[in-house]
Structure 1
Amino acid sequence: MPSHPAPMPAQKFLFHRPKLAASLADIVTGDAPIGAEPTLCLAAPRRTGKSTFLRHDLGPELENRGILSVYVDLWSDMAADPAHLIAEALKAELRRADSLPVKAARAVGLSKLGMGGVSVDIDRIGQAQGTTLADALEALLERTHKRIALLVDEAQHALTTEAGLNAMFALKAARDRLNTRDDARDGPNLMIVLTGSHRDKLSRLVLNRDQPFFGTSVRSFPLLDRAYTDAYTAWINARLAEGNRFDADDVFAAFDAVGRQPETLMRILSDAALLVGDAGDLKRALADGASELRQRVWDDYDNVWSGLTTLQQAVVERLAVEGPQSAPFSAPALQAYADMVGEVVEPPAVQAAIEALRQKNILWRSARGQYALDDQGMAEWLKVRAERVGKG
């Protein structure tokens, strides 16, 4: 009779990706043979390990090279303006860089500090008529005598407000200013790494000439692979009773089935580990857990879809196909809607459909009036759905 498995461990498993961190650090610092790319845009779905990688791998790798790494998550406070979050991160670094003078200044009611010839009012960073982000970054550069890497997680959220978009333009201006200084000959003084869980949204920062990082490519952030699940499986099995341990092949299959999301895999493994049985029971539990979670997501999409009008469905399908280049009010788009609806469709009707979809959190609108599907998983679901309908 197999023994009961031990409960899932409370300790946190952390998987490092040093080779990827070194490779990306080489690119932004200029240590790569191809020269520096001081702005990187990396896209991957949510909950696939981007934030963990930035904080625990890329940031430390840059710090080990003598570069000051500043991390800011634009989704850490969804109620806060993205521009405010960036400004607060820089304020914190300035205070950390010169904590004693800051305390002394506050003791006499002052907040303005002269740093290497650059004077900034730390309480007015990013505010109207206040210290610019470029000034704050240059002050940080002067004070720390370190090059700076700004790691902006979920950067696409900056597009939701005019202030957030302006903050992105301000970062671009700061990058150009700091990287044309005489002391930038050996490598960029300011490096910017932008990550996003929505490729289409992130692309809005780089695709058009009127966007802050025009010309920068959006790269796919590599998803975790078999190396991750093998390490995680070994870590878990060392904490489970013999006879109730997971097979590495089964764990990877489950991980792949749920979109390579570590938190989701952890939940499936935790549920499976509560079973009392043999290895075959665990194998079935893993496969069933992954299938159930995936089906639940697809059922949710199906329920949402069935609640839309035909025109709303047509708008969603058009955006899913066109991606960041979508023009929902163009003549070709209006014709595509008409073909699906079966009658002429005018722009006011499209606007009403779009507003309804925004209220349902299906469509996202930038501060500049650009649209995208809020959940890119729906685009994948639509693709599979179309294939099934075609086969049917």
Structure 2
Amino acid sequence: MTSRTGFVFRRDNLALAIAQGLIGEGLQDYSSGLFLAAPRRTGKSTFLREDLLPQCVKHDWLPVYVDLWADRGKDPAELISAAVAVALVPYEKGIRKLAKSAGIENLNFLRTLSWDFTRPQLPVGATLTQALELLHSAAQKMIVLIIDEAQHALTSEAGINAMFALKAARDELNQRLERGNGGLRLVLTGSNRDKLAHLVLNKNQPFYGSSITPFPLLGKDFTKAYTAHLNSHLAQSNQFSAADIDAAFDLVGRRPEMLRAIIGDVALELGEAGNLGQLLRNSAQMLRAGVWEEYESAYNALTLAQRAVLEIMADRADDNQPFAPFSDATVLAVGKALKSLGSEVVPGTQTIQAAIDSLREKELVWKSSRGAYALEDKALGEWLRQRRS
């Protein structure tokens, strides 16, 4: 991991609370899995890499991190397997000794495999469950598998099967050990709550019965620290106000990257101290307006049927309900939406399917490999609700 320069904001307390939850010792029990959802660019991935991973190391656990958006051209199952394979490499000597040992039934599969530790992949014939069991035996530590953008696993059948394999490995390893003393813990995150929820929504999904936990957005402690960092580079007579910084941060959805962009714009026309707050607000409003203009442009290019389907999907997401495209309730709701848009068309399942297909082509709607749908960008749903109100 490369060291970072400039402003760094640590969230040690949050990382510690999650770590305690993973072993069932915190206010929340995450020993069966933690499913964290947060909008894109709100600092979730940075927190995982910079705070949660080091916290796992402090506890003498073995963290394994994989980002399923790191290479969207690869099947998510391949990325997960590769991350586990890479984690096994430091234990090569110990693994070879284990493979030669007698009486270790769980490692018998190694004896029939040709394992090339120079390649970041599991050998043909080795399952993900077996590899995780082997990693646990070799490391003699609790494994914390952190999968960022885990909802991407739902886009392929192999990815879904990998999720089931992780559940099996979790159950197998945790049943052997006393609570909190080892085994496998899973942390799955997603930038779209509705997509991530498809892993837990019904009994046909691998983690049915689990709940989605909202990832805490950066608060005023962040903007206060960031303001102090900025002001350390400015004259005492020309300082930012933490309240102004926080207000601008709020306008862009608590997204650090966008806040830095605002500061960069303001720096180009840095005026007197009395003007800094207004400059921040203007820049934040312009940045948000630019994002909303993209949504407006995409929306205006849609047919009335596509708009109606998109609005009903947003409504379902707002109510934390799955979008069932061909149910009577959905057909009726789309019909009402069309009427409110000035259309006299009475929609049927074919109209809805055609609209969904077009929305997917425009990358506005996401579909899992098993036919579940969600908005590609949840912020579009927020814009739609604001537009109607």
Using the size of structure 2 for normalisation, the TM-score is: 0.89
Kindly tell me the number of residue pairs found equivalent between the two proteins. Answer: 368
Shift of 1:130: 1.5
- Equivalences for residues 336-355 of structure 1 within 5 A: 336-339=333-336, 340=338, 341-355=343-357
2:144, 2:369 → 1: CA distance?
26
* Aligned partner of 1:57 among 51, 60, 67: 51
Partner of 1:5: none
2:73, 2:89 → 1: CA distance?
24
Answer yes or no: is 1:137 the counterpart of 2:132: yes
Answer yes or no: is 1:234 the counterpart of 2:231: no
* Aligned partner of 1:364 among 346, 362, 366: 366
Sequence identity of aligned pairs in percent?
46
* Aligned partner of 2:325 among 309, 328, 331: 328
Residue type matched to 1:337 in 2?
V
Deviates more, 1:117-126 or 1:135-144: 117-126
1:348/1:286 Cα in 2 relative to 1: closer, same or farther (>3 Å)? same
2:29, 2:362 → 1: CA distance?
45
For the aligned residue pairs, the C-alpha RMSD in angstroms reads 2.2
Residue type matched to 2:265 in 1?
D
Task: Name the SS of the counterpart of 1:195 in structure 2.
Answer: strand
- Equivalences for residues 267-286 of structure 1 within 5 A: 267-286=261-280
Partner of 1:7: none
Partner of 2:378: 376
Give the conservation status (yes or no) of the 8 Å contact 1:244–1:273.
no
* Aligned partner of 2:237 among 226, 238, 243: 243
Task: Name the SS of the counterpart of 1:191 in structure 2.
Answer: strand
Task: Name the SS of the counterpart of 2:175 in structure 1.
Answer: coil
2:94, 2:72 → 1: CA distance?
33
Deviates more, 1:339-348 or 1:196-205: 339-348
Give the conservation status (yes or no) of the 8 Å contact 2:227–2:241.
yes
Q: Which has the higher contact order (CA 8 A, sep 6+)?
A: 1
Give the conservation status (yes or no) of the 8 Å contact 2:36–2:190.
yes
Gaps of 5+ in 2: none
- 4+ residue segments displaced more than 6 Å: 124-128
Shift of 1:329: 1.1
Task: Name the SS of the counterpart of 1:71 in structure 2.
Answer: strand
Deviates more, 1:127-136 or 1:370-379: 127-136
1:306/1:134 Cα in 2 relative to 1: closer, same or farther (>3 Å)? same
Which deviations, in whole Å up to 9, do the C-alpha atoms of 1:249-298 show, x marking residues without a partner? 11111111100001110111122122242112322221111000111111
Answer yes or no: is 1:180 the counterpart of 2:182: no
Which deviations, in whole Å up to 9, do the C-alpha atoms of 1:141-194 show, x marking residues without a partner? 11111010001111111111111111111111110111111x334445100001
Give the conservation status (yes or no) of the 8 Å contact 2:82–2:122.
no
Partner of 1:385: 387
1:126, 1:214 → 2: CA distance?
29
Partner of 2:213: 219
Partner of 1:299: 293
Give the conservation status (yes or no) of the 8 Å contact 1:156–1:201.
yes
1:207, 1:276 → 2: CA distance?
50
Gaps of 5+ in 1: 1-9, 106-111, 388-392
Partner of 1:203: 197
Residue type matched to 1:139 in 2?
L
1:164/1:306 Cα in 2 relative to 1: closer, same or farther (>3 Å)? same
Give the conservation status (yes or no) of the 8 Å contact 1:36–1:187.
no
Which deviations, in whole Å up to 9, do the C-alpha atoms of 1:338-381 show, x marking residues without a partner? 33242322212221111111010111000001111101011111
Task: Name the SS of the counterpart of 1:179 in structure 2.
Answer: helix
Partner of 2:18: 24
